[in-house]
Structure 1
Amino acid sequence: MAGNTLANMFKVKELRNRLLFTLAILAIYRLGCVLTIPGIDAKALIEYFENLLAQNKSNAFASYMDFFVGGAFSNFSVFMLGVMPYISTQIILQLLLIVFPSLKRAVQEDGGQQKFALWTRVGTIIVCLIQSFAVTEYAKNIGVISLNNELAFKALAILTVTTGSMITVWLGDQITARGIGNGISIMIFAGIVARIPDAISQLVQGVQNGTINFMFVIAALIIYIVVIALVAFEEGGERKIPVHYAKRVVGRKMYGGQSTYIPFKVNPSNVIPLIFASSFLTLPMQIISSVASKGESAPKWVQALSSLLNPNGWVYNILLVVLIVFFAYFYTQVTLNPTEIAKQIRENGGSIPGISADKTESTLQKILNRLVFPGSLFLALIAVIPTVIQIIFKFPSAITHLMGGTSLIIMVGVATDTMAQIEALLKMHHQDGFIKKGKIRSRNL
């Protein structure tokens, strides 16, 4: 069955072209992740990380950023910031739309989406400039600059990194428009997958050197398998809200009278809250980490704040949990607005059985709240698993980040969405899909 499905994927011309286009874009992206920006001494960079490894230390923030960009941050590559500035800008603008109703009305007008896209691009450039400047300070503090003229290096590095990030966003848009899946999510997915072989290599070396207990590895693998199963189970769960449409006569024809349902997923926002929460913390963390990298010359309060915001620490993980819950509610309200859904039901002559028309909105809101809260807590629980495993089993941060809950949620979520798109295209061309009987099942909760 799987062999036939894979063959069918490449038999369908449209799907084959989309898959090959996506793979070509990802190849370009990965190439940009290994091209070091001008002015960086590659030898000094390698020595810096080798010295950290020899001292059984790690740069927590660099490992954290590498998780999203496939090692591009530690390489000081042209794509070292990836799509994170773009996501951070989207979050800021979405929050501003809620705070300032006039901005929301402007977006809802004719041509408003084009305005919003322009604001997002301009905002992304601003965020890139801030983050790329922090990158130059970080490079200076760890001593990997090869140019004698510091000002020339900063100008060149800021221009290169900002341009690289905007190219990355453009590549993601091209995947969305002409490839398979959501381009931005696919880019993050590719970065995570690219780091897995290195993480496995570190794990094997740790076991061989005796620094990691083999039984702990077995226990961790069992936990990861259980997490993957739970994530896949949660992704398919949904609550079906029945809606009945009354009959109505238009001219000489009668319309309506059918019953349908509104599918609310257990986790309506999928992996978005996790990505939003992580990227929201990235900007302040990078600025603080860059200043703290000066060592003893950095202000004590900055060093203390950098220690508190360590991705492997409890303060960071508590903030991550809070932000995941917040963005789960926030994104669900944006994409599944109960007021708009209730309005559409009423305008089409529909009603929820047993619920009066004036209580439709409050009923939908109550159902969403009951779904979003446990769903967001589940996401948060999975996201903090890497920290727990690192503390209990003493795994290196690079391994726990890449084989931990966050990566599993993103990989399973993106893979599920991408598979659904491929499934739909195969069905459209009358081909068998991935799943038996040709459809992806969901569970009614």
Structure 2
Amino acid sequence: MALSGVENLARLPELKKKLLWTFVLLAVYRLGIHIPVPGVDSSALADFFANAQNTLFGLFDMFSGGGLKNLSIFALGIMPYISASIILQLLTVVSPELKRMQKEEGEAGRKKITQYTRYGTVLITIVQGFGIAVGLEGMTSPSGSPVVMHAGWSFKLMTILTLTTGTVFLMWLGEQLTEKGIGNGISLIIFAGIVAGLPSAIFNTFRLMTVGEISLFLLLIIMAVMVATLAFIVFMERGQRRIPIHYAKRQMGRKMFGGQTTHLPLRINTAGVIPPIFASSILMFPATVANFSSVEWLQSISQMLTPTSVLYNVLYVAIIIFFCYFYTAIIFDPKGISENIQKQGGFIPGIRPGAKTREYIDRVLARITLWGSLYVAAICVLPMLLIAQLNVPFYFGGTALLIVVGVAMDFMGQVESHLISRQYEGLMGKGAKVKGRQ
């Protein structure tokens, strides 16, 4: 009988232990979100963030799980680590030394790159911590109250030290989640931060319905659109273009090897959630700067690039498509794949090995990336359209939806793989015992 369902956890103590570690470490993260940095007026900061949802502050606050709005010790979240990882990936393309380290040195090279990523995370956190400290000293709430009670270098150094320590601890927490829990720790931390705001969003929606600002019919439409969008995301994230690969038969001694047929899976959304994150950061930058400036032309640009405007959404779609192609070109190497296929004696039916294979894979990938980028852009623009046309408070943005669904699918897939592997181990164990008795 296949092992499935919650009732089988008692039969799998190892899986139960991993799940327990996952929930405990995530609980530690959520607990740290509520520990504030000293010297900040929390009420004045909350008033400031009430008017900063469509800026970079609102975007970073989403990824930090509300930590930036509270200015907690985890205010920067895991974004510095993600930024350092992306920078290292970009440098790997242009730096022969990093490329050689990644390809030729194997596990040792990957450990070095991971170490460089950690150093980069600390450096980025120090810079961002200093910027936040300086920015906080110049912030005032809409009522005119200063956000920082006692400005000066003592506050700056305390903020830098606190935020850097919090981010390093969060990075360590993510690595522990990956090692002792289930799934990718960094992704789970972002997932937990986004989902943590869901109960308050649901409560706020029902409150608006009770006071008559949202009708029951409109609420049902929103729920139907949400369910359809989630189903569409799951369908597209599982979508693949499978290129068939044949391996010729080879004789070694008296035995014949090869003759197998497999496939090369190309995902529709190869770039993941990186393109919408980059696009949002670029387009929200003018609104963020406008919060600290009274320059007239900057204010006018900020007003033109509101998330519900046509110009914003057109630029948003264009930048997402560009970064989908750009990031796919960085993380996917058709030349290396074609060389590996040729070395292993494989070929794509009807395509010559070598340069022709690389061109074919590149051409197929370009076509798939077009549809993948349009899908990502549609998911990211949909919440904007709902806000503009239906005048409803839509909690999840497109980027958040992609992250939540993707991480949930990965988490459930790893749980299922663990269940299946344990089942086969049990069956092999039984077979070994029977053979021993015979």
TM range (shorter): 0.7 to 0.9
Counterparts of 1:393-412 in structure 2, within 5 Å, are 393-396=390-393, 400=394, 402-412=395-405
CA distance in 1, matches of 2:328, 2:121: 23
Alignment partner of 2:423: what SS? coil
Displacement of 1:193: 0.8
Alignment partner of 1:345 is 2:341: yes
Provide closer, same or farther for how the CA distance between residues 429 and 76 of structure 1 changes in structure 2, counting only shifts above 3 A. same
Alignment partner of 1:244: what SS? strand
Counterparts of 1:10-409 in structure 2, within 5 Å, are 10-46=10-46, 52=50, 59-61=53-55, 62-110=57-105, 111-140=108-137, 141-142=139-140, 143-145=145-147, 147-269=149-271, 272=272, 274-275=273-274, 277-278=276-277, 281-282=280-281, 285=284, 291-294=289-292, 298-304=294-300, 306-307=302-303, 310=306, 317-358=313-354, 359-396=356-393, 400=394, 402-409=395-402
Displacement of 1:309: 5.6
Question: One-letter code of the match for 1:60?
Answer: N
Listed one character per residue, the Cα deviations across residues 346-390 of structure 1 (whole Å, up to 9, x for unaligned) are 111111112222421111111211212101210111011111111
Alignment partner of 1:60: what SS? coil
Question: One-letter code of the match for 2:409?
Answer: T
CA distance in 2, matches of 1:33, 1:314: 36
Listed one character per residue, the Cα deviations across residues 195-231 of structure 1 (whole Å, up to 9, x for unaligned) are 1111111212222233334433322222211111111
Question: One-letter code of the match for 1:14?
Answer: E
Structure 1 counterpart of 2:429: none
CA contact 2:380–2:398 (8 Å) conserved in 1: yes
CA contact 1:267–1:372 (8 Å) conserved in 2: yes
Displacement of 1:43: 3.9
Listed one character per residue, the Cα deviations across residues 107-152 of structure 1 (whole Å, up to 9, x for unaligned) are 4343432332232222222222232233223433124545424221
Alignment partner of 2:262: what SS? strand
Provide closer, same or farther for how the CA distance between residues 411 and 179 of structure 1 changes in structure 2, counting only shifts above 3 A. same
CA distance in 2, matches of 1:284, 1:150: 32
Q: TM-score, normalized by length of structure 2?
A: 0.85
CA contact 2:279–2:316 (8 Å) conserved in 1: no
Displacement of 1:82: 0.8
CA contact 1:134–1:290 (8 Å) conserved in 2: no
Provide closer, same or farther for how the CA distance between residues 280 and 34 of structure 1 changes in structure 2, counting only shifts above 3 A. farther
Question: One-letter code of the match for 1:112?
Answer: G
CA contact 1:278–1:320 (8 Å) conserved in 2: no
- Identity across aligned pairs (percent)? 39
Displacement of 1:276: 5.2
Which structure ranks higher in relative contact order (CA pairs < 8 Å, sequence separation ≥ 6)? Answer: 1
CA contact 1:291–1:298 (8 Å) conserved in 2: no
CA-atom RMSD, angstroms?
2.9
In the TM superposition, structure 1's runs of 4+ consecutive aligned residues that sit over 6 Å from their partners are none
Structure 1 counterpart of 2:414: 421
Q: Which stretch shows the higher mean deviation, 90-99 or 179-188?
A: 90-99
Provide closer, same or farther for how the CA distance between residues 312 and 86 of structure 1 changes in structure 2, counting only shifts above 3 A. farther
CA contact 1:138–1:293 (8 Å) conserved in 2: no
CA contact 2:3–2:420 (8 Å) conserved in 1: no
Give the number of the structure whose alpha-carbon radius of gyration is greater.
2
Q: Which stretch shows the higher mean deviation, 106-115 or 70-79?
A: 106-115
Alignment partner of 1:403: what SS? coil
Q: Which stretch shows the higher mean deviation, 145-154 or 249-258?
A: 145-154
Question: One-letter code of the match for 2:204?
Answer: Q
Alignment partner of 1:17: what SS? helix
Provide closer, same or farther for how the CA distance between residues 6 and 383 of structure 1 changes in structure 2, counting only shifts above 3 A. same
Displacement of 1:314: 5.1
Listed one character per residue, the Cα deviations across residues 300-339 of structure 1 (whole Å, up to 9, x for unaligned) are 4554555456555555544543443344334434443221
CA contact 1:9–1:426 (8 Å) conserved in 2: no
The count of residues paired between Structure 1 and Structure 2 equals 416
CA contact 2:209–2:216 (8 Å) conserved in 1: yes
Q: Which stretch shows the higher mean deviation, 332-341 or 382-391?
A: 332-341
Question: Gaps spanning 5+ residues in structure 1: where?
Answer: 433-445
CA distance in 2, matches of 1:2, 1:37: 50
